[in-house]
Amino acid sequence: MNAESDERSPADETAPADGTGPAAAPPGPAGRERPLGSRAPHFVRRSRALHLSWQAGVFVVGLAVVVAGVIMLPLPGPGWLVIFAGMAIWATEFVWAQLVLRWTKHKVTAAAQRALDPKVRRRNIALTVAGLAIAGVLVGCYLARYGLRAPWALHR
């Protein structure tokens, strides 16, 4: 079923009711997006108990990676990158994670396109130059007043 019509396609009627099979996905900008659903091997999807065990394992591994990423946010490390890696692990099995990653990918692509706009690039370059000039003036004022002493050693 799509937004343009209320008719079901034959693929919609043959999809399993338990959500384990690939569902019809809306085509992306280039029409290359993978269908939603489990990417587990066929022999795993055949057995309900094995598939549920597989999903539980994927969930636990993805959760561990996401938790590690959250821990890395305030600590040194690539926190957001690890969180998105955990989401990608979840996306191998869960449709909700696939939709979140798809949405994130579209937003990042749109932001990258906006950043490549010449007007936005000129503005960003001007702001960066202004920020560096202000920082240079502040460092120059500090050096003129105190010399090359560290700020924590000024009281001596």
Q: How far is CA 37 from CA 40, 43, 55, 153, in A?
A: 9, 15, 12, 61
Q: Residue 61: inside a domain, yes or no?
A: no
The number of beta carbons lying within 10 Å of the beta carbon of residue 94 is 20
Summarize pLDDT for 40-88 with one digit per residue, the tens.
Answer: 667 777 777 887 888 888 899 999 999 999 999 888 888 888 998 998 8
Instruction: Provide the greatest CA pair distance for the chain.
Output: 82
Q: Residue 66: inside a domain, yes or no?
A: no
CA dist 2 and 7 (Å) reads 8
Closest CA to 11 of 2, 21, 24: 24
Count how many domains the chain has. 1
Q: Residue 109: inside a domain, yes or no?
A: no
Q: Which residues span the domain enclosing 122?
A: 118-156
pTM for the whole structure: 0.50
pLDDT of residue 12: 43
Q: Residue 89: inside a domain, yes or no?
A: no
Q: Residue 142: inside a domain, yes or no?
A: yes
Q: Residue 43: inside a domain, yes or no?
A: no
Task: Look at residue 36 and give its three-state secondary structure.
Answer: strand
Q: Residue 1: inside a domain, yes or no?
A: no
Q: Which residue has the higher pLDDT, 23 or 91?
A: 91
Q: Residue 95: inside a domain, yes or no?
A: no
